[in-house]
Amino acid sequence: MKLNKVSKIIISVSFIGWIIAGIFLFNSVSANASNSSQTNIYKKIQLFNEVLFKLRENYVDELEIEELINDAIEGMLKEVDPHTVYFTPDEFEKFSIDTKGEFGGLGISIDKRGDYITVVSPIEGTPAYRMGILAGDKIIKVDGESIVGIDTDKSIKKMRGDPGTKVVITILRPGVKGELDFEIIRDIIKIKSIPYAFKMDNGIGYIRIRRFNANTTKELREKLDELETEGIRGLLIDLRSNPGGLLNEAINTVNEFVGKGKRVVFTKGRTKQANFEYYTKFNRIRSGYPVITLINGGSASASEIFAGSLQDWDKGLVVGTTSFGKGSVQRLFPLADGNGIKVTTAKYYIHSGRCIHKDINDQLLKDERVRNGDISKEEIDEMREEAEKENLKNIFHTEKGRVVYGGGGINPDLEIEQSRLSDFEVDLRRKNIFFNYSVDYMIDYENEIKKDFTTSDDFVQDFLEYAKKDSLEYEQADIDSSYSWIQNQLTCNIIGRKFGDLEQYKVAIQEDTQLQETLEIFDKCAFLEDMFIYVEEINKEKKELAENKE
């Protein structure tokens, strides 16, 4: 009898289930014949197999067994923490690409604008860049198949492929009539962990670490060497909204600042294998300038280990807002047929003894009221605030005896808030008006743009007229309060179209209030020890002011 695909799936699942049951039963008998818990698991696996067969044989409609099994797995994982995740083959491949830091592709940053997949920027040195793909190009076909209206992930999947293979993309280009075909040979595209690193006009080195992938340590060493050769009087490492990544990369980057043989992190879990200590191993250490690490509520996992470790070893000042608090350890297990599972096996503790995991995040992620929108933002904020108060009761000390707090996330040495965009500014961003305007403007005036380009009042007025055509409504008060921000956004978008992402970023951060306030610390304190004293005095004043208000 020839088995169809569904029958094979049922038999495979059943067979695997019986093997697992046998293992549980064997362990149970070997360890303790009266172990009712293990026996109960065996019975439940039998029950699962029985339900699966009965559904297949008797349900009124034909069932998609693969979907049923996937749903059963998903349902099981809902009972554990939100970081234990089951991956389909596509999801597992994408996750692996993110951590490896490279893939076979074209080399373009894209976003969906309306129905069109639009090139935000080509990545320098990649096949797309060499072929002349430009920001603003709308990709309408891949290998002759329309991608208009489909989502970004599906578009990416169509454009990626093995290095050396050919793909034809068809674009619509602003200012050019008709469709343009580009035949591109895919190549290895390395995902930059550090997209921006440069010496500022004030002599401070700036490094933005986007995530910790397989290239991070190598990139950081190269950038630090370049900055030190240029001569810097301080270093600002920007880890805001860095979601983390590879643990080894976090440890090796910390190594650059603390030296060899220093404990960075240790893990505690239920099994013996989950308990481990991690030390730096390279005879490398940077010195000669103070270091500040900038974090926010989006800084998580490996970025928290980095910031907290520099704080623990008194090698860097941490400023910004309290980090996310993702301090659980996940291990990746490949499964049959390309599937995979990411399982939480332990929690991270940094050298001072602080556990950086914030349990309130897991509670909120699993809370049905939050998922269904049945709880207000105010109630959620109140739950977070209560958890933060409890965390601040957990006092730890750095190597030099400075007080730090544990129990959830990395608390900065000095809190600096980021200014928020107004509703009007959010609207301008949401409708992509700056991007669209700069693309259209460059069609006629690209040759006139120099690196010192700035926007005049007439330029701003022309932009606002352009925005009106996009149904943007505003009052004069909106313009007055956002005028310098609008000028900055226009300037950086135009500069970016002509000179690339780095030059655009240098302009954009001029309106980054959190970053600019952080830079002021370097002007007030020439040495790290002075910074520690300075922030202690600031925090003391804040505390006294708060107590007086009460």
**CB 213, CB 249: distance < 8 Å:** yes
Domain boundaries along the sequence of the chain: 5-79, 102-190, 196-415, 423-511
- What letter would DSSP give residue 136? T
Position 2 scores a pLDDT of: 42
The partner residues of 77 in beta bridges, in order of sequence, read: none
**CB 328, CB 347: distance < 8 Å:** yes
Instruction: Return all residues near 363 (Cβ < 8 A) that are at least 6 apart.
Output: 383
Cα-based torsion angle of the residue sequence 440, 441, 442, 447 in order, rounded to the nearest 10 degrees: 150
What are 63's two structure tokens? 């069932």
What are 212's two structure tokens? 């910790």
Position 550 scores a pLDDT of: 63
CA distances from 517 to 419, 429, 457 (A): 11, 24, 27
User: Given 137, 312, 362, 413, which residue is catalytic?
Assistant: 312
**CB 434, CB 428: distance < 8 Å:** yes
User: Given 138, 262, 326, 358, which residue is catalytic?
Assistant: 326
**CB 409, CB 304: distance < 8 Å:** yes
Position 104 scores a pLDDT of: 79
Cα–Cα dist 546/550, whole Å: 7
Burial class (CB in 10 A: 0-12, 13-18, 19+), 474: middle
User: Given 155, 301, 303, 438, which residue is catalytic?
Assistant: 301
Cα–Cα dist 293/253, whole Å: 13
Count how many residues are written for the chain: 550
Position 100 scores a pLDDT of: 63
**CB 223, CB 238: distance < 8 Å:** no
Q: Mark the ranges of the chain whose per-residue pLDDT is less than 50.
A: 1-34
Cα–Cα dist 508/60, whole Å: 60
HEC-encoded secondary structure of 400-468: CCCEEECCCCCCCCEECCCCCCCHHHHHHHHCCHHHHHHHHHHHHHHHHCCCCCCCCHHHHHHHHHHHH
Q: Is 374 a catalytic residue?
A: no
Position 102 scores a pLDDT of: 64
Q: Is 301 a catalytic residue?
A: yes
The partner residues of 214 in beta bridges, in order of sequence, read: none
Note the CATH number of domain 196-415.
3.90.226.10
Position 21 scores a pLDDT of: 44
CATH class of 102-190: mainly beta
> What is the per-residue pLDDT across 376-423, written as a single tens digit (0 to 9) for each?
878 888 888 888 888 888 899 999 999 999 878 999 999 999 998 888
> What is the per-residue pLDDT across 167-176, written as a single tens digit (0 to 9) for each?
999 999 887 8
Position 37 scores a pLDDT of: 65
**CB 230, CB 199: distance < 8 Å:** yes
Q: What share of the chain is helix, strand, coil (3-state, %, to 5)?
A: 50, 20, 30
Q: Is 326 a catalytic residue?
A: yes
Cα-based torsion angle of the residue sequence 344, 350, 352, 354 in order, rounded to the nearest 10 degrees: -40
> What is the per-residue pLDDT across 300-350, written as a single tens digit (0 to 9) for each?
999 999 999 999 999 999 999 999 898 888 788 888 888 888 888 889 999
Q: Cβ atoms within 10 A of the Cβ of 153, count?
A: 11
